[in-house]
Amino acid sequence: MKAVVCRSPGDLVLEVRPAPGAPPPGWALVAVSHVGICGTDYHIFEGKHPFLAYPRIMGHEVSGTVVDKGDGVTLNVGEAVIINPYLACGKCIACRHGKPNCCVKIEVLGVHRDGAMCEQILVPAQNLYPANGLSLADAAAIEFLAIGAHAVRRARADPGARTLVIGAGPIGLGTALFARIAGLDVSLLDMSSERLGFAESELGFATLDGSRATAADLVRGATGGEGFDVVFDATGNTQSVQSAFAHVAHGGTLVLVSVVKDDIVFSDPEFHKREMTLIGSRNALGADFDHVAASIRNGAVPLAKLVTHRTTLAATPLDLARWAHEKSGLIKAVIEVG
Ligand SMILES: [Zn+2]
Ligand SMILES: [Zn+2]
């Protein structure tokens, strides 16, 4: 089968690889249909991902069709499916507490093991959800939106809560969309006027342009000096995360959606006087995938606006390398495999 392989940082090629064998019990063989390209993939390509073994087949935002199944699998051959790419051990403390998204031994397809930028992939059946009438193109967008939906669920905010999402990339936009679906009053902060222009004109969000004034001044202006009830950071930027503590209102909540590799330093008196709730959010759960799928089905997610670029498996090595640095107008790119 054809597969796009990242042999080492900066070296992405189309290779012919052996097709996966017959699925073992509890697993299914999926013919890949669509694969979203994620910030993580650009990081892997650029060699910026902290613990990654090369060569690697990337791709974790995936839809496809079941073509073969092992014993005990109830899905039907021919069924359209969404892949949950977080393979969990089922035994560790997180798994026992119903949190496979932060399994101690988690293996993410396309990161810790080979992913779906190829024609076929073996997946545990418990990680496959029927697409239930969603198109395979739409189904491939569920995973990146589920990250935001999960972060919003983690915040447990009341409808109407004044909410700031920092970072207007795909994860930030997904977080903002699902915060709005949850009834929160959402503003987006970013350093890019182009991204904010899109968020405002195409998605209808209030925006704070960090290229025009300091974030502190913008937050003060937007909240009458009180700060936001809920702040989500989706920048992956250490400086931004550290500044975000100051944007939270007394009694409010800070949710760290994206991860940074550095230590985060904050003032304990500032943190304590607010009685701030600090929440980490990692990956997503099956319930988040269901919520996103239902929201796409009922028209609450303007997916057509978010998917701005398309390519094929054969053209991926060139296109992905280009999009890693040509970000103008790019929100989400999708590989059409099948
Ligand atoms: Zn992703
Ligand atoms: Zn586990």
Instruction: Calculate the average pLDDT of the chain.
Output: 96
Same domain, 130 and 154: no
In a domain, 330, yes or no: yes
Q: What is the pLDDT of residue 49?
A: 81
Q: Are residues 55 and 110 in the same domain?
A: yes
Q: Which two tokens stand for residue 161?
A: 């809560």
| 293 vs 295: CA distance, rounded Å | 5
Tell me how far the alpha carbon of residue 122 lies from the centroid of ligand 2, in angstroms.
Answer: 19
Measured in Å, residue 267 CA sits from the centre of ligand 1 at 32
Residue 128 lies in a domain: yes
CA 326, 332, 337, 338 dihedral sign is: negative
Query: What distance in angstroms lies between residue 286's CA and the mean position of ligand 2's atoms?
Result: 15
| The pLDDT of residue 47 | 92
pLDDT digits (tens, 9 = 90+) for 134-145: 999 999 999 999
DSSP type of residue 78: T
| Count of domains for the chain | 2
Q: Is residue 126 domain-shared with residue 176, that is, in the same domain?
A: no
CA–centroid distance, 164 to ligand 1, in Å, is 22
Q: Are residues 63 and 190 in the same domain?
A: no
On whether residue 291 sits in a domain, the answer given is no
Query: Is the pLDDT assigned to residue 221 strictly greater than 80?
Result: yes
Same domain, yes or no: 111 and 162: no
Quickly count: other Cβ atoms within 10 Å of residue 183's Cβ: 13
CA of residue 230 relative to chain centroid, distance:
19
What's the mean pLDDT in 304-315?
A: 96
Q: What is the pLDDT of residue 261?
A: 84
In a domain, 292, yes or no: no
Q: What is the DSSP string of 260-313?
A: -SSPP---HHHHHHTT-EEEE--S--HHHHHHHHHHHHTT-S-HHHHEEEEEET
Q: Does the structure show a pLDDT above 80 at 51?
A: no
Considering the domain architecture, whether residues 8 and 101 belong to the same structural domain is answered as yes
Residues 113 and 166 in one domain: no
The pair of structure tokens assigned to 210 is: 């960090």
Residues 330, 305, 146, 233: what is their CA dihedral angle, to the nearest 10 degrees? 60
Tell me what pLDDT residue 48 has. 86
pLDDT category at 83 given cuts 50, 70, 90 is very high
Q: Is residue 89 part of a domain?
A: yes
> In this prediction, what percent of the chain has a pLDDT beyond 90?
96
How far is Cα 266 from Cα 247, in angstroms, rounded to an integer?
A: 12
Distance 220 CA to ligand 2 centre (A): 42
Average pLDDT over residues 321-333: 93
**C-alpha angle 270/184/299, rounded to 5°?**
145
Rounded to the nearest whole angstrom, what is the distance from the C-alpha of residue 98 to the centroid of ligand 2? Answer: 9
CATH at residue 185: 3.40.50.720
The bound ligand whose nearest atom lies closest to the alpha carbon of 93 is 2
One domain, residues 89 and 165: no
283 alpha carbon to ligand 1 midpoint, in Å?
9
Report the candidate in 259, 330, 307, 258 with the shortest Cα–Cα distance to residue 63. 307
The confidence score (pLDDT) of residue 338 equals: 85
Residues 241 and 320 in one domain: no
Which residues face 61 on adjacent strands? 36
Q: Tell me the per-residue pLDDT of 172-214, one tens digit each, with 9 for 90 and over.
A: 999 999 999 999 999 999 999 999 999 999 999 999 999 999 9
- Domain assignment present for residue 287? The answer is no
Task: Indicate if 152 and 197 belong to the same structural domain.
Answer: yes
Q: Is 144 helix (H, G, I), strand (E, B) or coil?
A: helix
Does 289 fall in a domain? Answer: no
Same domain (yes/no): 171, 234: yes
Structure confidence by residue, pLDDT tens digits, 238-269: 999 999 999 999 999 999 999 988 899 999 99
> Which CATH number fits the domain that encloses residue 38?
3.90.180.10
CA of 37 to the centre of ligand 1 (A): 7
Question: Could you tell me the residue range of the domain that residue 324 belongs to?
Answer: 2-140+302-336
Examine residue 288 and state whether it is found in any structural domain, yes or no: no
Distances (CA, A) of 249 to 158, 163, 321: 14, 10, 41
Residues 97, 39 share a domain: yes
Task: Give the distance (Å) from ligand 2 centre to CA of residue 83.
Answer: 18
